[in-house]
Amino acid sequence: MLNDKVILVTGGTGSFGQAFTRAVLSRYKPRKLIIFSRDELKQSEMRERFPRDQFESLRFFIGDVRDRDRLYRSFDGVDIVVHAAALKQVPTAEYNPIEAVKTNVLGAANVIDAAIDHNVQKVIALSTDKAVSPVNLYGATKLCSDKLFSAANSYSGYHSTRFSIVRYGNVIGSRGSVVPLFLKLRTSGVLPVTDPRMTRFWLTLEQGVDFVLASLQRMKGGEVFVPKIPSMKVMDLAEAIAPDCRVEITGIRPGEKLHEFMITPDDARHTLEYESYYVILPTYRAGELHHYMDHNGGKCCPEGFRYSSDGNSWWLSREEMQRVVEHLCGTKPGIGHGA
C-alpha cells in the first residue's frame, strides 16, 4: 500500500508520529516519508533515532499547519497525508482558546486546501473521543476539524483527493497522558485522581498506528473509523501502576467528563459494525448506508446503540494494564513509595 509512495505526517515528531514512522519504515519501502513539524529540537532528536544512512527515505520539514504557504510547499508531490498535528492538552486549550482554534481548526482547513490543490491521493486525520458531544474546547475544535475533513470530500471537485478520520481514546504512554504522570508520581506515595467513577477508553501507540494503516487501506472518503478497544476505570489504573500509593481525590477539572463516548445514539443511525471496528458515515451520506454495506460488508448498529467508556463490554484488568506498562517502560508497576 505504501511502497514507492510519498507520505507526509503533520505533527510527525509527536508520540504517534514517531511510532508511525517506525512502523512504516519497517514494513514498507516508501519513496519518501516526510516529517512535518514546528519543533526543530524534536526533529534533531528524531534524526538521531533514525540516522540518514539507515533510513534514506526519511525527510524532515520545519513548518506549522497554521502556515498555509509552508504547507503548500511541503505537499508538492505527496501521495498520502496523515494529519496528526494538534494542540491536544485540555487545560491548555481551555486557557488559550484562540491558539487551539488556529491549530486544530484553521490548520485543518489549510491541510485540506493544500491536499486538494496538490492532488494528494488520501488524507487521514487523527481525532479523539473528546470530539463526541464535546464539553471542552479541545473536543470542540476536533469536532469541527472532523466535520471539515468529512465535508472536504464534497468540494474536492475534479480532484481525486479522499479524506477520512480515525477516532480513538486515550493512548497509553503518549506524552500528556495520565500513565506517564502516574509513573512519575508513584515515588511520592500519592496519586491524584479527579473522580473515582471516571472511565476511559485505552489503546497502545502500536494499536493506534496499526488501526490508522488499516483505515488508510479501507477508506473510501468521509468515514470516521472507530476501533473496538477496552475501557478501564481510572481508579483501577492507579491501582495497577502504583498499588502502594494513596489516592487523593482532587475533583473534576474544567472541561473533563466522567465517561467518554465514541459513538452516540444519533451517530449510530448511520454507523456500520465490523468485527474489530465501526465505520460512521457522514450525515450527507446517511442514505448510502446500505449501498456502502453491500460493497464493504458490515451490519447496521441497532437503534439507540451507543459506544461509551462506561457501557463498554470490554474492560482492561489491572494485570493486563500492568503488563502493557511494563512492556512500554521496561519497569514493573507497583514499585513506588515504601517499596
CA dihedral 287, 290, 295, 301 (to 10 degrees): 110
Report the predicted TM-score, pTM, of the whole model to 2 decimal places.
0.94
pLDDT value at position 339?
32
Q: What is the pLDDT along the chain (339 residues), one digit of tens a residue?
A: 899 999 999 999 999 999 999 999 999 999 999 999 999 999 999 999 999 999 999 999 999 999 999 999 999 999 999 999 999 988 899 999 999 999 999 999 999 999 999 999 999 999 999 999 999 999 999 999 999 999 999 988 788 999 999 999 999 877 767 888 888 888 899 999 999 999 999 999 999 999 999 999 999 999 999 999 999 999 999 999 988 899 999 998 878 899 999 999 999 999 999 999 999 999 877 788 989 999 999 999 999 999 999 999 999 998 998 888 887 766 665 544 333
DSSP β-ladder status, 299-300 and 224-227: unpaired
pLDDT value at position 180?
83
pLDDT value at position 287?
82
Q: What is the DSSP string of 107-164?
A: HHHHHHHHHHHTT-SEEEEEEEGGGSS--SHHHHHHHHHHHHHHHGGGS-TT---EEE
59-12-57 Cα angle (round to 5): 25
What is the C-alpha separation between 78 and 127, in angstroms, rounded? 22
Where do the structural domains in the chain lie, given as residue ranges?
Answer: 6-169+205-228+264-307
pLDDT value at position 256?
87
Contact 263, 223 (CB under 8 A): no
pLDDT value at position 172?
87
Q: Is the dihedral of CA 295, 209, 87, 42 positive or negative?
A: negative
Domain 6-169+205-228+264-307 is of which CATH architecture? 3-Layer(aba) Sandwich (3.40)
What is the C-alpha separation between 139 and 135, in angstroms, rounded? 7
What is the C-alpha separation between 84 and 19, in angstroms, rounded? 12
pLDDT value at position 335?
46
pLDDT value at position 3?
97
Q: Could you list the active site residues? A: 130
> Which residues are CB-neighbours of 26 under 8 A, at least 6 positions away?
none
What is the C-alpha separation between 131 and 267, in angstroms, rounded? 13
CA atoms within 13 A of residue 310's CA, in its CB half-sphere? 9
